[in-house]
Amino acid sequence: MLAYYLLNQLASEGHEVVLLTHQHDKALFPLPEVRVRTIPIPVASPAMRAMRCTVASKAVIGLGSYDACLILHPLTPFGLALALRFPSVWYHIEPIVKVSERHFEPQPLIGLAWTPGIAFAHIVRRVLTLSAYMSRLVDSHYLRVNSKPVYAGIPADKFQAATVEDTKVVTFVGRINDQKNVFRLLRAFKLCTDTIPEARLKVIARGPATVEEEFVREIKTLGLGDKVLWDRESVVSSSTRNHYHDAQVVAYPSLHEAFGLVVVEAMASGRPVITSNFGGPAEIVSNNREGLLVNPYNEAEIAAAIVRLLSDIGLCREMGRRARSKFEQNFTIERIARSIESHLKTCASS
């Protein structure tokens, strides 16, 4: 989604955008065709590696001349070919992490296990990350990179703010997996219902079939069948209706996030957010101002945060107003695009 928002914004401001991709759903992610040129590439598979390298080289050679290049997904032949030809900025770097219900273990950053990945970080003129947290990880793994954080953002008009109503609905948006911590959220919500029996948890998410089956079993085991509203069909980002508006509170206690785009979407919608007290989300939300920061491993703490906000509609509305204000000041895609442009200009002139 970040790539889609960013490409749209850069194109709308007059920049020429070349999209190298093996899959682009034009209906779901429409881009202005006047400024965007799409170059299809072969699907990723070991058997296609030689062809991918050949296609990458030919595609990049045929691009013409550019002052600077923004690379979002570098660890492909295209990223390497672009960085070798043009002054380049690498953005949206994320780590590979092992996440379980009990812990997460940071793994080497994408590409660190391969020499081309390490080399790429030094070929590009500048490395940008999604948060200061990510910059610390990047700089500790890639020696002498000195990355810069540039927060992600969304269009200001896509998620309009609305008054928080006393719905007693807690909304989660994301994926059903260990990293997003949905199972622990379920158990925390069960504790919450002991105090607020009318509370409802709305889950807008999908996951692998086996994990979804486990999710359904956990709902039944906890006796939450009539309290969990599971919507696996809606795609919030492409819907004309803002699903965050149903929420009194948005809960996103992820175990690990480089940034946390859902947190920003909720804030743009004027909703208080309960999220993790470390990583990217802790840089977006200030505790007790736009929401509450919690230890994502502590179910009782998550439950207490939910109870506190569902019990105080006035506090929810005040936090929601602060959240929208902070979003407008820091996390609009227009602001992010200007920051990216500044880095590209510096890259081109250095």
Residue 96 CA to residue 103 CA, distance in Å, equals: 14
Residue 159 lies in a domain: no
Q: Would you say residue 208 has pLDDT above 80?
A: yes
Predicted pLDDT at 39? 63
Residue 213 lies in a domain: yes
Predicted pLDDT at 184? 95
- Compute the mean pLDDT over every residue in the chain, rounded to the nearest whole number: 84
Q: Would you say residue 115 has pLDDT above 60?
A: no
Predicted pLDDT at 157? 87
Are 285 and 236 in the same domain? yes
Are 124 and 268 in the same domain? no
Predicted pLDDT at 72? 81
Residue 259, CA distances (Å) to 16, 19, 130, 151 in order: 27, 23, 6, 8
Are 173 and 299 in the same domain? yes
Predicted pLDDT at 84? 82
Predicted pLDDT at 276? 96
Residue 182 lies in a domain: yes
Predicted pLDDT at 112? 41
Tally of domains within the chain:
2
Residue 286 CA to residue 263 CA, distance in Å, equals: 12
pLDDT digits (tens, 9 = 90+) for 14-41: 887 777 665 556 655 666 665 666 666 5
76-85, 192-201, 269-278: which has the minimum mean pLDDT? 76-85
Q: Would you say residue 215 has pLDDT above 70?
A: yes
Q: Would you say residue 198 has pLDDT above 70?
A: yes
pLDDT digits (tens, 9 = 90+) for 66-92: 888 888 877 667 777 788 888 999 898
Are 240 and 268 in the same domain? yes
More confident residue, 67 or 191: 191
Q: Would you say residue 12 has pLDDT above 90?
A: no
- Which residue, 41, 62, 141, 126, is CA-closest to 92? 126
Q: Would you say residue 108 has pLDDT above 60?
A: no
Are 196 and 130 in the same domain? no
Q: Would you say residue 221 has pLDDT above 60?
A: yes
Residue 101 lies in a domain: yes
Are 106 and 253 in the same domain? no
Are 321 and 336 in the same domain? no
For strands 69-71 and 88-90, give the pairing.
parallel
Residue 33 CA to residue 189 CA, distance in Å, equals: 45
Range of the domain at 125: 2-153+332-349
More confident residue, 94 or 207: 207
Residue 342 lies in a domain: yes
Are 15 and 62 in the same domain? yes
Are 234 and 288 in the same domain? yes
Are 70 and 181 in the same domain? no
Residue 296 lies in a domain: yes
Q: Would you say residue 47 has pLDDT above 80?
A: no
| CATH number of the domain that residue 11 is part of | 3.40.50.2000
Predicted pLDDT at 103? 60
Residue 236: pLDDT band (50, 70, 90) is very low
DSSP-derived secondary structure for 222-276: TT-TTTEEEE-S--GGG-SS-GGGG-SEEEE--S--SS-HHHHHHHHTT--EEEE
